[in-house]
A and B are shown apart, each in its own frame.
Chain A
């Protein structure tokens, strides 16, 4: 019974460790999906000249992490009450998991989207993509290290607790 309790305690701390490290890993996946989505926006805007709402909806297929944000954006734009920046930042604010730095880059893009000819739109999107790639690299380096550290420390704390109790 004692050993069963010990295994249970260790498994629980490992789960907690994974849970605590999740935002770091989640950020990487989300950034990768944002970059891919923005890359698909370039032809939707530059070549097809689709309106923003349609362009986002066409480009967003297959990015499950971004679905709640894009659904909210769609809903806000359908209400025909606010400009794109207000709707886009409103949709981003709905999701608490978005990191402040990532949100800032996306909001800056939202401020200029739709407000100029497609040539300038492409420039803005490409600028945002390179900014997101920079933070993605940081997230993969420092962020992953932090995730592993959090995981190891939490798991180690669990094991230590079990040893002490035994």
Chain B
């Protein structure tokens, strides 16, 4: 389901009128107040129309994207995004409204960034082949890359493969991007035969619930962030459950700047780290580091 189906006209009509080749490589549609709407592809940028978007139009677009129900999206808004059915994430640029020291919501919306989520069937096989080439047999992986390099797409396909191999898999889909449930309860993507989705659950709570009630062999989480996420990963790993997770970092040096990842590697809670880039298109495998290489990496970054 393409994200522009959720946009009002004239934008929906204009996006529907794009050529198939352009749509295939389209990654983002960006609305900014006072500027024309721009399309961003893998290595191209193009205005959608010459007319600029005013703040009233921005409000109308957002209102329609959230189905006129801001109350239902307050949690997401406070984190600066909403997710559309199909797992398409809409980043929101605006002014933070604080309440008791926490971001409560966003107002004076200045920009919307609609990211086009895609399933790429088979991309996980390439990762598994690279893992086997590197001699890694475990299934606990950390997928690392900068934004827009295909982490979620790879994770989704790995889940599908593992699930179809009979692994009871649980996805903790905090931002509704992996499964793209979108309120219907039915995943937009093929996630395999043995996959359950905890949609909208914060990662630590979701991991705890998955362990307690769903008896998984494997859990998958996207975009590790606060320390609590890593604590959840530790708990899952040392409860006999494999974990596949993703994290933002452009290279090993950036990744190792996180104390929590340092700890995960030190305690062998991961079987391998897979580094992705978009050098030859999204999900280019830059490196696979098996657990036997961890001590060397840890030493290189001043084993703490």
Contacts and interface: CB of A to CB of B under 8 A. Distances in A.
Interface of A: 45, 49-55, 77, 80-84, 87, 113-118, 120-121
A49 B70 contact: no
A116 B70 contact: yes
- Which 6 pairs from chain A and chain B are nearest by CB? A84-B68, A51-B67, A51-B69, A114-B68, A118-B71, A49-B72
10 contacts: A51-B183, A54-B183, A80-B8, A81-B9, A82-B60, A83-B63, A83-B68, A116-B71, A120-B71, A121-B71
B214 interface: no
Contacts of A49: 71-72
B7 interface: yes
Most B CB within 10 A of own CB, among A114, A118, A121: A114
B67 A117 contact: no
Contact of B8 (A45, A81, A121): A81
A77 B6 CA distance: 11
Contacts, number: 58
Interface residues of B, number: 19
Contact of B6 (A80, A87, A114, A121): A80
A72 to B, nearest CB: 15
Interface string B1-17: 00000111100100000
A9 B72 CA distance: 59
B67 A83 contact: no
B74 interface: yes
Nearest to B105: A117
A52 B68 contact: yes
B6 A117 contact: no
A80 B5 CA distance: 9
